[in-house]
Amino acid sequence: MKKQDINGKWALVTGAGSGMGRTTSLELARAGANLILVDICGEAIGNVAREVEALGAECQTFCVDVTDWDQIRNMADTINARYGAVDILVNNAGIAHMGFTVDTSIAEWEKLWNVNVWSIIYMVKAFAPAMMRRKSGQIINVSSGQAFFAVPTWGPYATTKFAVDGYSEALRYELYWHNIAVSAVYPGIVRTPFYDSIKGGWMVNVGMKLLMATAMKPESMSKLTVKGILKKKRMIIPAIMWPVYLFKPMMPIPFEIAGRVVAWALRKEQKTPV
């Protein structure tokens, strides 16, 4: 597939202050795009803005809570008035959560849903209409490899990523007729601060250390993501997630057994007295 030229185009990235948001912004700048960096932490995006500008790209920053519709709508009005429409919208903002599905509090569910799902809905609602009027644009939604396999104790998080997957699929069909490409990204474990809040018993702690030791670097995942953006791929999947994507539908029993065993072991560990 022929690569598109994004030199001089404006790309907006949410959650741009750290992790994959930062490295994806830098990779887009290296590909020639100008950046609009969005994050709830003004200091963080200020630092990333300096890195982006050092690469020769123009850069704008907006300190915005992406779970607040009014803040997003006001930001979109400013950006659309200035540029007509963004060329590339990367919905990257997201948070992690580890805990048994039934044990997860309503407040935790609401926070996960607001950041991981509602922020994407808000951003698309705010920016897609201008793209549709212009008949061009590209939207990238960051889902997760857990949209392929909901790992025990990650059920609430996986639920939000299944939602992002379905939302992206329907959006892709609908916006195709407006010449707008929609891509979904399915990272596996990526070595970012995203997992810093994950704590648990010895099994969880040892497991996380092993996963972090073998995790993909955010720079590598961002390079893969930008390559997918340039080729307007509908699905951007790292090599480690392809076996899950391909084999789970064909051979569900091994995944079913693995899920049950891991859930049993983690629940038993949780009930073990300290």
Q: What percent of the chain has pLDDT over 90?
A: 76
Q: Is 112 exposed, middle or buried (0-12, 13-18, 19+ CB in 10 A)?
A: buried
pLDDT of 209 > 70? The answer is no
> How confident is the model at residue 274, as a pLDDT?
39
Task: Give the CATH superfamily of 10-271.
Answer: NAD(P)-binding Rossmann-like Domain (3.40.50.720)
Active-site residue (options: 122, 157, 167, 186): 157
Assess whether 157 carries a catalytic annotation.
Answer: yes
Q: pLDDT tens-digit profile of 55-86?
A: 999 999 999 999 999 999 999 999 999 999 99
Confidence of residue 205 (pLDDT cuts 50, 70, 90): low
pTM for the model: 0.89
